[in-house]
Amino acid sequence: MKKLIGFLGAAACVGTMQTASAGDITGKITLKGTPPPAPEMPLKADPFCGKIKEVAAAPGNPRMPFYVVDKSGGLADVFIYIKEGAKAAAPPAQPVVIDQVQCQYTPYVVGLQAKQKILVKNSDPLMHNVHPQPTVAGNKEANKAQPANAGPLEFVFDNPEVFLRFRCDVHPWMFSYVGVVDHPYFAVSGKDGAFKISNVPPGDYVIEAVHRKTHPNGKGITQKIKVGADGAKADFTVELPAQ
């Protein structure tokens, strides 16, 4: 019995050590340069969107979120993921949710794993249509109407793809961009440009940062890193494309 207890204790200790050895990849995305003003979303001019109470009460039309930058140059909505070195993993049961609110998709950029469910909701008092437009073979295109008060629409994509675009054909300014990878090691930068990829096993990796407007073909900026028990640091500077 004492030997069994000792063995179980040692196994638990090893498990704890293995868990503790995983680290976080943290960093910040900074935009170099001043982006041009983004075009407005013509919400008020639309006969349906303009009648939404919150839209009608707003002082003006929102602009397309091409470059969301804070005062320090931190760039939001950048998809960061391990491009090389991560092992494929089964998708989580928890779905990713995209909503349609005030005639805009939210979030604008989101990540998930291949074969993980995406639920698209319609919180507006009007009809939208949900049109994912994958370009990778095996990821199926769809185009579904979604009336007001209808239940969420469910989508699953089998293969990695950065970025997979969702659009609304009824309101042509409505887009959401999805980074699909086959493992859980990804993040989207926040309003201050910061990001964190959690619980990464120790090892050598190549990570990539992709901005939808600057890297429209899905090929972003790569960096080699080594993750240890204390994690790793990876900052990126995104440069505006030549005009």
Answer yes or no: do 113 and 174 share one domain.
Answer: yes
Determine, yes or no, domain membership for 192. no
Helix (H) / strand (E) containing 56: helix 53-57
Answer yes or no: do 164 and 113 share one domain.
Answer: yes
Q: Whose CA is closest to 170, among 98, 122, 135?
A: 122
Answer yes or no: do 99 and 164 share one domain.
Answer: yes
Give pLDDT, residue 216.
Answer: 80
Answer yes or no: do 94 and 167 share one domain.
Answer: yes
Determine, yes or no, domain membership for 9. no
Q: Which residues contact 168 (CB under 8 A, 6 or more apart)?
A: 100, 105, 128, 129, 130, 131, 174
Answer yes or no: do 119 and 161 share one domain.
Answer: yes
Q: Whose CA is closest to 207, among 239, 232, 243?
A: 232
d(CA 190, CA 200): 20
243 confidence band (pLDDT: 50, 70, 90): low
18 confidence band (pLDDT: 50, 70, 90): very low
d(CA 25, CA 196): 6
- The SS3 assignment for 16 reads helix
Higher-scoring residue by pLDDT: 219, 167 = 167
Q: What is the pTM of this model?
A: 0.89
Determine, yes or no, domain membership for 77. yes
8 confidence band (pLDDT: 50, 70, 90): very low
- The count of other CB atoms within 10 Å of the CB of residue 100 is 22
Determine, yes or no, domain membership for 29. yes
- The count of other CB atoms within 10 Å of the CB of residue 12 is 10
Per the structure, the count of domains in the chain is 2
Answer yes or no: do 178 and 117 share one domain.
Answer: yes
Determine, yes or no, domain membership for 126. yes
Contact 10, 190 (CB under 8 A): no
d(CA 176, CA 110): 8
Domain enclosing residue 145, as ranges: 87-184
Give pLDDT, residue 218.
Answer: 76
Answer yes or no: do 179 and 116 share one domain.
Answer: yes
- The count of other CB atoms within 10 Å of the CB of residue 123 is 12
- The overall longest dimension of the chain from CA atoms, in Å, is 77
Contact 100, 128 (CB under 8 A): yes
Across the range 169-190, mean pLDDT stands at 97
Across the range 30-34, mean pLDDT stands at 95
Q: Is the pLDDT of residue 54 over 80?
A: yes
